[in-house]
Amino acid sequence: MANHKSAIKRNKQSKIRNARNVHARSTMRTLVKKVREAVAAREKDQAVGALSEVVPYIDKCASKGIIHKATASRKISRLSKLVNTLD
């Protein structure tokens, strides 16, 4: 356990940040799932709408360091490619 005042504070901050990151990552995964489900159901309008919702969220997660920027780019690319198969 932390003995110094600064170490106690860092521990508290770490827990708060971890909870925030877990929430953001979970939300991102849910939004990605919405896109995949819409594509599986062959609903182009819903898939495009869900994609336009998830892309900025993935970028936001990458800019905050929750996921790596290359991972974000790869996810966006694959989802875009998936939605474009619905033509």
CATH number of the domain that residue 15 is part of: 1.20.58.110
Cα–Cα distance for residue pair 26/20, rounded to 1 Å: 10
pLDDT of residue 61: 97
Using the Cα atoms of residue 26, residue 31, residue 53 and residue 74 in order, give the sign of their dihedral.
positive
pLDDT of residue 10: 95
Distant-in-sequence, close-in-space partners of 67: CB < 8 Å, separation ≥ 6: 25, 28, 58, 61, 75
pLDDT of residue 23: 98
Cα–Cα distance for residue pair 18/21, rounded to 1 Å: 5
Residue 51 has pLDDT above 90, yes or no: yes
Compute φ and ψ for 49, nearest 5 degrees.
Answer: -65, -45
Residue 77 has pLDDT above 90, yes or no: yes
Residue 1 has pLDDT above 90, yes or no: no
Bigger pLDDT: 3 vs 35: 35
pLDDT of residue 60: 97
The residue range of the domain holding 63 is 5-86
Q: And the tokens for 14?
A: 């770490």
